[in-house]
Amino acid sequence: MPGPGIRCLFAWAGAALEWLYPDRCVLCLAPARGGICVACAADLVAHGPACPTCAEPLPVADACPACLRAPPALDAVSVPFAYAWPLSQLLLGYKRGGRPQLGRPLAQLLSDHLPTAATQGVDCVIPVPLHEQRRAQRGFNQAEALARVLCRRRGLPLDTGAVRRVVATPSQQGLSRRARKVNLRGAFTVERDLRGSRVLLVDDVMTTGTTLTVLAREVRRAGADWVGAVALARA
Ligand SMILES: [Zn+2]
Ligand SMILES: [Zn+2]
């Protein structure tokens, strides 16, 4: 992994080049309509074998001890990539680095690499909502941007109004799993009757999975029969 100076230069040069060459790969400048070329996408670190219901990395894909001990909140989780450089850099640049133009290539990356099975039979796609304040600051919700392209490409119904984030929770960064759960208590309210539906939650990065777990419980309480989740990368 390159040092911070090189990474900073990479970010700055990347932003300039995206502006100059919108139909070029954001990583290597090869012609790429989607913004990330096939070769660079193939070089990204895949999220390897993992637990199918919480995406915990494991030597072989099987139920993890935690999911065997207690029924998992999610019925299925699918994450194509690991949160590793250079994808981590692109996600940071997109969310916090003033490079909103990275939204399109990142969304296409998810749509291209998410297995078909992850979206099969889904009748409601809900992106993890941001609190209004956070959304206004950022200007967009990254999870919604990913979900929008996924829904368009796969003919799935997107519902951005199904859940509201009613508490502006402080950043989850650096918190333990338990502290994250406390932090998120009462954070979401479901505004729909989801009885009998198969709901797919979408987020950009899955860290401990607490946000998706808390949200899944709320969605299930609103009547959903099945709740799955997808994210672009797993930290
Ligand atoms: Zn490339
Ligand atoms: Zn698990």
Give the model confidence (pLDDT) of 169-182 as tens digits.
Answer: 777 777 888 888 88
Q: What is the pLDDT of residue 181?
A: 82
9: pLDDT confidence band, cut at 50, 70 and 90? low
Name all domains of the chain by residue range, CATH numbers in brackets: 1-43 (no CATH), 46-234 (3.40.50)
194-204 burial, b for 16+ CB within 10 Å, e for fewer?
beebbbbbbbb
Q: d(Cα 192, Cα 72) in Å, to the nearest integer? A: 23
Separation of 64 CA from ligand 2 center, angstroms?
A: 4
Question: What interhelical angle do 103-113 and 87-95 show, nearest 10?
Answer: 130
Separation of 220 CA from ligand 1 center, angstroms?
A: 40
Question: What interhelical angle do 87-95 and 142-154 show, nearest 10?
Answer: 110
Give the model confidence (pLDDT) of 49-80 as tens digits.
Answer: 999 999 999 999 999 999 999 999 999 999 99
Q: d(Cα 7, Cα 159) in Å, to the nearest integer? A: 36
Give the model confidence (pLDDT) of 180-212 as tens digits.
Answer: 888 888 899 999 999 999 999 999 999 989 999
Mean pLDDT score of the chain:
91
Give the model confidence (pLDDT) of 110-165 as tens digits.
Answer: 999 999 999 999 999 999 999 999 999 999 999 999 999 999 999 999 999 999 99
Q: Which amino acid is at 175?
A: L
Separation of 59 CA from ligand 2 center, angstroms?
A: 13
Separation of 58 CA from ligand 2 center, angstroms?
A: 9
4: pLDDT confidence band, cut at 50, 70 and 90? low
Separation of 76 CA from ligand 2 center, angstroms?
A: 10
Separation of 130 CA from ligand 2 center, angstroms?
A: 25
Global model pTM greater than 0.75: yes
Separation of 156 CA from ligand 2 center, angstroms?
A: 26
